[in-house]
Amino acid sequence: MNSQLLAFICYFIAVLAIGLFFFFKSKGSGEKDYFLGGRSMGPWVTALSAQASDMSGWLLMGFPGSILAFGMGQVWIGIGLALGTAANWIFVARRLRKFSQAANDSITVPQYLSNRFLAKSPALQIICALVFLVFFTVYVASSFVAGQKVFIQVVPALADRPELALLIFAAIIIVYTFFGGFKAVCWTDFFQGLMMLVALLAVPIVLLVVKDLDYSVFNAAAEGSINLNPFAASWQDIVSGLAWGLGYFGMPHIIVRFMSTKNSKVLKKSATIGIVWVVLTLGAAIAMAILGRAYSVTSSLPQAEQQDLIFIKLAQDIFPGFIAGLLLSAIVAAAMSTADSQLLVASSSFTSDIYKPIFRKNASDKEVLWVGRIVVLIIAVIAFFIANSKGKGAQSIMDMVGNAWGGFGSAFGPVIILSLFWKRLTYKGAIAGVVAGAVVDVLWLLFLTGTTGVYELLPGFIVGGLAAIIVSLIDKKPSKEVEALYDLAVSSEIE
């Protein structure tokens, strides 16, 4: 057994142990504990699990790979994400925690949006849950692709059987998510967030300090050089990159972390931790792409359509076997930390927002839990087939992440913001915002992204916000009870 594989096995045993630990510890607990951890998460776990579930294998593969493949214009995605992360923690996190508690102690985003307006109709919950199921399945597939690529690099024998590598990775995620629930997901994401940070910082630092780099690639006059000026990018790259930041306000698997904390005060410390983490990791990913290109001049690092392997190849090339194995585990950690969160949020949304209120109103907690676990399996199976059919190269992971990110940001971002800061928003306005944002995002992706070069999230977000505002103004004002709920949420009575 090679040392890289040994490091992998040690890592997977630890992850599975966490899942089984919380399964046995939480036996007899209800859906609130399984899907939201009983609102008991502390600042470090909240921050790192939120950011780890955010970034996925995209951070270590798709993002640096896209910089190598398409140039420094891709750096604007990192800038947009950093700004979006900061805005999400500063403006949304604490307020959403208070609003979700005021809104009948909601445990899912669709449930919160419905309870926020004291709605008797389940229409909004059903629409939100269906959007979740579609976009989360695509998002989970992107994580499966990232994990598959790492497995093949660590175990070359799997190169001829990529489906087996994909199946092994999916099975590991399913096991600990299936059994452990939200607490297992948060705690594994906490450790995986630390691993991602260490791995991303280690590679560029070692490259810079220890290795001889060919800096001629930074010479603008040299053939095959790198233009280090991100402002030389096209306006489409800049606008689309910054638009990525808007997606944060509508990412259910991220903002549900805000709802899970002990109280809103915890989020002050979490905000600092989360913002520092994302700035360091995105900066390190950009540095790794740039320095890796300088190092690749004298080494056999990835060429065309393999740029997403840059982190894998660098780790294997500059570190001893076991340490390289631990660093590569960080990619698996990134992919797993996103996939597990998305599986759980999609599952909780289906069971809490469709199954229980519509099909089985008197379902017991035990029944709801097991239905949720079955949904985890179903989504994972569909994601497996999507991942197994996608294209190759750096763009494959970027495409799937970008599609899902745009869908969530367009559908939920404007409505979440308006629900927290605009007292006049109505239930019909919220429905219009979610539907309009999702529809415009998909139509723009299918027919206009290629010709305009503008990321579909931007027009989807704008139209979704306008639809919510216009319909709310046309609709009658919210009832006194809904306005009272808003006033309670913004007061100091809830912490």
Predicted confidence (pLDDT) per residue in 296-341, tens digit: 765 655 555 567 788 888 888 888 888 888 888 877 767 776 777 7
Cα distance between residue 243 and residue 395, in whole Å: 18
Spell out the domains of the chain, with CATH numbers in brackets.
3-394 (1.20.1730.10)
Quote the pLDDT of residue 303: 56
**Banded model confidence at residue 160, pLDDT cuts 50, 70, 90:** confident
**pLDDT at residue 127 tops 70:** yes
Q: Is residue 306 within 8 Å of 292, Cβ to Cβ?
A: no
Query: pTM of the entire structure?
Result: 0.86
Quote the pLDDT of residue 454: 92
List Cβ<8 Å contacts ≥24 apart for 112-119.
112/259, 112/419, 113/415, 113/416, 113/419, 113/430, 113/434, 114/353, 114/427, 116/419, 116/430, 116/482, 116/485, 117/426, 117/427, 117/430, 117/478, 117/482, 118/479, 118/481, 118/482, 118/485, 119/427
Q: Tell me the average pLDDT across 359-373.
A: 80
Q: Which alpha helices (DSSP H) does 71-161 contain, by range? A: 75-87, 94-102, 109-116, 123-154
Q: Tell me the average pLDDT across 457-480.
A: 97
Cα distance between residue 249 and residue 413, in whole Å: 4
**pLDDT at residue 39 tops 80:** no
**Banded model confidence at residue 285, pLDDT cuts 50, 70, 90:** very high
Q: Tell me the average pLDDT across 460-482.
A: 97
> According to the per-residue pLDDT averaged within each range, which of 81-90, 163-172, 225-234 is highest?
81-90
Instruction: Look at 147-151, 212-216, 218-222, 372-376 and tell me which has the smallest mean pLDDT.
Output: 218-222
**pLDDT at residue 393 tops 50:** no
Cα distance between residue 250 and residue 168, in whole Å: 31
Quote the pLDDT of residue 215: 74
**Banded model confidence at residue 248, pLDDT cuts 50, 70, 90:** very high
Q: What is the DSSP string of 369-427?
A: HHHHHHHHHHHHHHHHHHHTTS--SHHHHHHHHHHHHHHHHHHHHHHHHHHHH-TT--H
Quote the pLDDT of residue 180: 56
Strand partners, 261: 41
**Banded model confidence at residue 213, pLDDT cuts 50, 70, 90:** confident
**pLDDT at residue 286 tops 90:** yes
Predicted confidence (pLDDT) per residue in 413-457, tens digit: 999 999 999 999 999 999 999 999 999 999 999 999 888 989 999
Whats the size of the chain, residue-wise? 495
Q: Tell me the average pLDDT across 464-468.
A: 98
Predicted confidence (pLDDT) per residue in 47-73, tens digit: 887 887 777 677 888 788 888 888 888
The mean of the pLDDT values for the chain is: 83
